[in-house]
Amino acid sequence: MADPVDKSPQRIREMFDRISPRYDFLNHLLSLNTDVRWRKRAVGKLGKARRVLDVCCGTADLALEIRRGGAEVVGVDFAGRMLALARRKSRGRVALVQGDAMRLPFRDGSFDGATVAFGIRNVADTERGVAEMARVLRPGGRLVICEFTLPANRLVRAGYRLYFSRILPKVGKWISRSEAYRYLPDSVEAWWGPEELAAMLRRHGLADAGYELLTGGVAALHFGTRG
């Protein structure tokens, strides 16, 4: 799929470093705290994974939710300021590593679970990011992706687009003093559809790849098992 949005690693890293102080607050505010429920659903899809890699971990919200379930968790992100916040929040409960989702610094088969929440959309090469997550999974390991998508229902999609394109960027810019929340709707518009992403998971060796739409189809939970 052609993607007109600039996702160069330097741009993405600088953007997330810039908004890091207000990132958690804005996530909860702009999603009306629905993102908390989505993360809990994502953790439920991991099954009995005991060692989990959280890719594009940001400030470690998902990593900490996984850790509460008893799994050992490693978080990886390439934005240094986001990781600094994650370290303060996690207080040693999550191992945190600075690294690139397209070149994960782990051996093949190192984990029996891998997750990414609202991060794979920002990776310059989606296929490469998915391939890397599949690579570090052991056979039988679970991959879970939570990401925004465009609702199929025309009325819901119209309301979603109105909120994403008009309201969210203004509120985000006012609070964060950044254009990052203009990038968000643009990147969602250019993002893969749920069926396309499920097909990508299958191409990279993930059996029973499927997805579940969340909250009227404004987000999707993707999952698959490494063969």
Q: Is there a domain that residue 158 lies in?
A: yes
Q: What is the pLDDT of residue 187?
A: 85
Q: What is the pLDDT of residue 174?
A: 66
Q: What is the pLDDT of residue 163?
A: 79
Exposed/middle/buried for residue 10 (C-beta within 10 Å: 0-12, 13-18, 19+): exposed
Q: What is the pLDDT of residue 211?
A: 97
Range of the domain at 13: 9-226
pLDDT in tens, the chain (227 residues): 445 678 888 888 988 888 777 777 766 766 778 889 999 999 999 999 999 999 999 999 999 999 999 999 999 999 999 999 999 999 999 999 999 999 999 999 999 999 999 999 999 999 999 999 999 999 999 999 999 999 999 888 888 888 777 777 777 676 666 666 777 788 888 999 999 999 999 999 999 999 999 999 999 999 999 99
Place of tokens 């509460």: 68
Q: What is the pLDDT of residue 129?
A: 97
Q: Is there a domain that residue 2 lies in?
A: no
Q: Is there a domain that residue 41 lies in?
A: yes
Q: Is there a domain that residue 97 lies in?
A: yes
Q: Is there a domain that residue 123 lies in?
A: yes
Q: Tell me how many domains the chain contains.
A: 1
CATH number at residue 130: 3.40.50.150
Q: Give the Cα separation of 61 and 42 in Å (integer).
A: 12
Q: What is the pLDDT of residue 175?
A: 64
Q: Is there a domain that residue 1 lies in?
A: no
Q: Is there a domain that residue 119 lies in?
A: yes
